[in-house]
């Protein structure tokens, strides 16, 4: 199973290994747009076997830490 950061790195085409968690967001990463978010959601749902609600998608657009919170609510260990 791919890590969440690896999934985001692959979609955003950015090496996130040394990024601080709070800076993994659209505010700091130019390639993070609505299309990238949609791709992230699709891959995350497939990778972790979960279904993300539209309200959670909006929350996930706030960045990596918000994504971690959404996944934890779905029982995914990050």
DSSP string across 28-42? T-TT-SHHHHHHHHH
> Could you tell me if 25 and 62 are in contact, meaning their C-beta atoms sit under 8 angstroms apart?
yes
Tokens of 21: 């968690």
Per residue in 32-64, pLDDT tens? Answer: 999 999 999 999 999 999 999 999 999 999 999
Amino acid 78: pLDDT: 85
Measure the CA–CA gap between 59 and 57, rounded to whole angstroms.
Answer: 5
Question: Structural domains in the chain?
Answer: 4-73 (1.10.1200.10)
């Amino acid at each position: 199973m791919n890590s969440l950061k690896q999934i985001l790195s692959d979609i955003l085409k950015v090496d996130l290994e040394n990024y601080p968690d709070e800076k993994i967001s659209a505010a700091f990463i130019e390639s993070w747009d609505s299309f990238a978010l949609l791709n992230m959601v699709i891959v995350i749902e497939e990778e972790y076997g979960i279904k993300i609600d539209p309200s959670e998608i909006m929350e996930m657009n706030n960045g990596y830490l918000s994504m971690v919170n959404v996944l934890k609510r779905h029982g995914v260990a990050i």
